Each structure stands twice: as C-alpha cells, then as structure tokens.
Amino acid sequence: MTIAPSSTPPTGAPALEPLAVLAARVGATLRERQQTVAVAESSAGGLVSAALLAIPGASAFFLGGAVVYSRRAGKALLGLTREDMAGMRGETEPYARFIAARMRDSHRATWGICESGAAGPSGSPYGDAPGHVCVAVAGANEITVSRTIETGNTDRPANMEVFARQLLQLFDETLRATEARAGISPP
C-alpha cells in the first residue's frame, strides 16, 4: 500500500502529543507485535532515536538509527551513491520514503522511518523554508507513507521537536492503520 504525498495537516488538526508519549505508544505496539524499527533523521538530530531508546527494553524493537545531516553522512552511513540520488534531493517525500526503505532493508527491520527537513532559523540550500519537513514510514508488504509539514516557524529547537513528533505521529498512525486492516486490537 502506498499512500500519496500529503501536505500540512489542516488547520484545527489536533495538537501533537509529547514526544515521550508517542514513543512509548509506538514502542509498546512494536514490542507487542514483535516488530522492529530503524530510524534515519536529519534535522531532528537524533531526537526520535533518543525518545525510543529512553523506553526500558528498547532493544526488543529498536535496531539502530542514523543522523544523516549531509551528503557525506548519507554516503558513509547509508552507502548512498550518485546513482541512488539521481533525480532526487533531500527534504522531499520521495527522498524520505527512499531513505526509510533503505534503513528498513539495511537493518533487516520490520519498519524504517525517516525525516528530512530544514529546522531553521534560515531555509535550506534547496530553497525550502525553515520549518519544512518530510516524514516517511516504510514497512513490509509495500506499505509506504509520507507527509510534508510546514510549521512556518524559524525557531530551530522548536522545529526539531515538532519534526520528531511528526515522524512518530505518522508512524503511530501507520501502525494503527495496519492493526485495523489485520483486525488486531491495539495494545
């Protein structure tokens, strides 16, 4: 299942839960299902990995993470080549989906998740405004989901936190959607 790219959630969308709450729920779901995750982050700077690793027993579901903040890091940490990146750039949904799948496959995880964005205070070299992020989830059975969020904020630490929460929110939504399709009761 591939879900088409989407844009910023509509105005009036519910506020995001705290990072620790989202991570705890995702961790509990993964542990219950005996599934695993590998994480790639850029502008969130490791906040997603830290939130998941803060959960006691995280080794049951967390296989690894990488902060891929530059092309050099992509080459060193993910083995990205020019051919991999042909016609693609960071901070886009296709890139985030590609990297999420790369993390899933390279770690032999059930799920790979990724965020790629411009935290601020200025925009990115690609021309994206500060507060722009693309988040993606890649799972088995061709499950691939992505979303673009624009915070409109130039506050770097605030955007980093929102980016991490948006990635875990999308992952939680995806896990819940796969429960519904499989008729699984939530933990």
pLDDT at 182: 65
Query: How many angstroms separate the CA atoms of 63 and 72, rounded?
Result: 22
Given its phi and psi angles, is residue 87 left (phi above 0), alpha (psi -120 to 50 degrees) or beta?
left
pLDDT at 151: 96
Query: How many angstroms separate the CA atoms of 115 and 96, rounded?
Result: 6
Query: How many angstroms separate the CA atoms of 145 and 135, rounded?
Result: 8
CATH of the domain at 77: 3.90.950.20
Give per-10-residue mean pLDDT for the chain (187 aa).
40 75 98 98 98 98 96 92 91 97 97 97 94 96 94 97 98 92 56
Cβ–Cβ under 8 Å, residues 97 and 103: no
Q: Is residue 10 in a domain?
A: no
Q: Is residue 47 in a domain?
A: yes
Q: How many domains does the chain have?
A: 1
Range of the domain at 70: 19-180
Cis before 187 (ω within 30): no
